[in-house]
């Protein structure tokens, strides 16, 4: 039974600080004077924080090319996501957001790095921690906050809420409420892509908690059997709700859990490592079929808004990760190291971002609630004769729009 494990492995608890010290291994020869920061096309070469670890596949190079422009964009986008999630926290506490709400702060590098390596023709499907993934796919702050507050201006017309963000034109298939259930769906998307032959892939995201769901392995087997271009991305934030990974998984090496399916372990707090891994995975998937990417990451908030996030882990652990591995701070240091911006310039960006978020919230609050008739729409296809009944089931009866 699972019990002996509980007792014996307490020592293997938190090792989150491991990949930290080597955080900043840039190439000093590329240090440039501030004046050249304007030259966006300069190529900078950056080494990822830690080497990748692979299972049944080659290891991508640790050296990643980037540009000053990309670095600055990464900083801004991640700061925006961070600010958005913190604002969502306040809105939830003010009861302006109802329903359940799961925040992504800490994990921003995964969403950003992934987007940097792929196109909007590639598909992404994720679970309920979906705000930032949606933003990464090109969603707007206004759509995010409107949806969170259940307004018409939301990406799902206010009918979905926090866990149900979608963006069809950018291949974002949501936003799913049941742990692990989105992964087989993602494999279905990949099956469709294999037919369409347009060299696109699907990234199916799930957490370390979902990694123990049976349907994941069912879907993985199918994908491997038919060489589907499916990339399973395990966002390992080390806690499945309130249960530490080692309490829930016999092997927390999620990149190896596919057995016959290759896998790669990635520092999910390093946006460049994520980018490199996703690029590698896409090439691999198009040629050889599915691959698992385990992103070693961390969520600063609790699992959901009802979880303070401090009963099953120590405050020291959280602040340690913040200090040592924070994805935004890593980029900030890289920017300084390459003299691309001053401290003040970055602070100004953060101020701008804060303003942008506040404005979006104000605007979202003006968006009206959905019309009451929307309660009955989108249940069946319009015009196919389905009826809905009111409370008395006799008099209040309507053909579904």
Site size for another protein (CB under 8 A): 52
2 binds another protein (CB under 8 A): yes
Note whether 309 binds another protein by CB under 8 A.
Answer: no
Choice between 113 and 302, CB closer to another protein? 302
Cα–Cα separations (whole angstroms), residue 314 to 122, 139, 308: 38, 34, 12
User: Strand pairing of 263-267 and 291-296?
Assistant: parallel
Q: Is 181 in the site for another protein (CB under 8 A)?
A: yes
Based on the shown chain and the rule CB under 8 A, indicate whether residue 249 belongs to the binding site for another protein.
yes
Q: How far is the CB of 314 from another protein (least distance, A)?
A: 14
SS3 call for 310: coil
Q: Which two tokens stand for residue 134?
A: 């949606």
> What phi-psi label fits residue 383: left (phi over 0), alpha (psi between -120 and 50 degrees) or beta?
left
Contact by Cβ (8 Å): 34, 339: yes
Residue 174 interacting with another protein (CB under 8 A): no
Interface mask toward another protein for 97-136; x: CB under 8 A:
-xxx---------------------------x--------
Which of 209, 229, 262, 289 is close enough to bind another protein by CB under 8 A?
209
Question: Which tokens in the block code for residue 44?
Answer: 């900078």
From the list 42, 140, 215, 288, which residue makes contact with another protein (rule: CB under 8 A)?
A: 215
CA distances to 61, 194, 249, 313, 317 from 242, in Å: 35, 38, 13, 9, 15
According to DSSP, the residues that pair with 230 across neighbouring strands are 202
Which residue number, 192 or 390, has a Cβ lying nearer to another protein?
Answer: 390
- DSSP tag of 159: S
**Tokens linked to 372:** 């009451």
Q: Does 381 bind another protein (CB under 8 A)?
A: no
150 is an interface residue for another protein by CB under 8 A = yes
370 binds another protein (CB under 8 A): yes
Nearest distance in Å: CB 181, another protein: 8
Q: How far is the CB of 248 from another protein (least distance, A)?
A: 4
From candidates 28, 372, 383, 385, binder to another protein by CB under 8 A: 372
Residues 281-300 within binding reach of another protein (CB under 8 A):
none
User: Site for another protein (CB under 8 A): which residue of 62, 120, 159, 279?
Assistant: 159
Among 43-51, 195-203, 335-343, 370-378, the segment contacting another protein (CB under 8 A) = 370-378
In Å, what is the CA distance from 389 to each residue of 104, 180, 184, 301, 398? 39, 34, 34, 42, 6
What is the DSSP secondary structure assignment for residue 26, as one 8-state letter?
Answer: B
Give residue 313's Cα distance to chain centre. Answer: 22
CA atoms within 13 A on the CB side of 285: 34
**Given the rule CB under 8 A, which residues bind another protein?**
2-3, 6-7, 98-100, 128, 150, 158-164, 177-181, 209-210, 212-215, 240-243, 247-249, 306-307, 311-312, 369-370, 372, 374-376, 379, 388-394
């Amino acid at each position: 039974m699972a019990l002996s494990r509980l007792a014996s492995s307490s020592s293997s608890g938190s090792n989150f600080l491991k990949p930290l010290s080597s955080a900043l291994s840039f190439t000093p020869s590329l240090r440039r004077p501030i004046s050249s920061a304007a030259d966006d096309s300069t190529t900078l070469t950056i080494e990822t924080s830690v080497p990748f670890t692979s299972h049944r596949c080659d290891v991508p190079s640790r050296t990643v090319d980037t540009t000053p422009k990309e670095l600055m964009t990464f900083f801004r986008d991640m700061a925006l996501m961070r600010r958005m999630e913190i604002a969502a926290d306040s809105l939830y506490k003010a009861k302006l957001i109802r329903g359940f709400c799961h925040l992504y702060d800490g994990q921003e590098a995964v969403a950003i790095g992934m987007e940097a390596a792929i196109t909007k023709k590639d598909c992404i499907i994720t679970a309920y921690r979906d705000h930032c993934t949606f933003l990464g796919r090109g969603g707007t702050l206004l759509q995010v906050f409107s949806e969170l507050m259940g307004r018409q201006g939301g990406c799902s017309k206010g009918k979905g809420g926090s866990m149900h963000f979608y963006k069809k034109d950018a291949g974002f298939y949501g936003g799913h409420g049941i742990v692990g259930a989105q992964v087989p769906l993602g494999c279905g998307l990949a099956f469709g892509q294999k037919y369409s032959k347009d060299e696109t892939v699907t990234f199916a995201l799930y957490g370390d908690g979902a990694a123990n769901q049976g349907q994941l392995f069912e879907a993985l087997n199918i994908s491997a059997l038919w060489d589907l271009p499916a990339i399973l991305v395990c966002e390992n934030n080390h806690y499945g709700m309130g249960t530490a990974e080692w309490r829930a998984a016999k092997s927390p090496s999620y990149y190896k859990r596919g057995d016959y399916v290759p896998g790669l372990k990635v520092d999910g707090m390093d946006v460049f490592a994520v980018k490199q891994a996703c690029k590698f995975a896409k090439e691999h998937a198009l040629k050889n079929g599915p691959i698992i990417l385990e992103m070693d990451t961390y969520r600063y908030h609790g699992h959901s808004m009802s979880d303070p996030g401090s009963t099953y882990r120590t405050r020291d652990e959280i602040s340690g990760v913040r200090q040592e591995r924070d994805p935004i701070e890593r980029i900030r240091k890289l920017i300084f190291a390459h003299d691309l911006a001053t401290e003040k310039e970055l602070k100004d960006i953060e101020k701008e971002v804060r303003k942008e978020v506040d404005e979006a919230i104000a605007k979202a609050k003006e968006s009206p609630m959905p019309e009451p008739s929307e309660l009955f729409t989108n249940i069946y296809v319009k015009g196919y004769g389905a009826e809905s009944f009111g409370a008395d089931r006799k008099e209040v009866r309507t053909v579904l729009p």
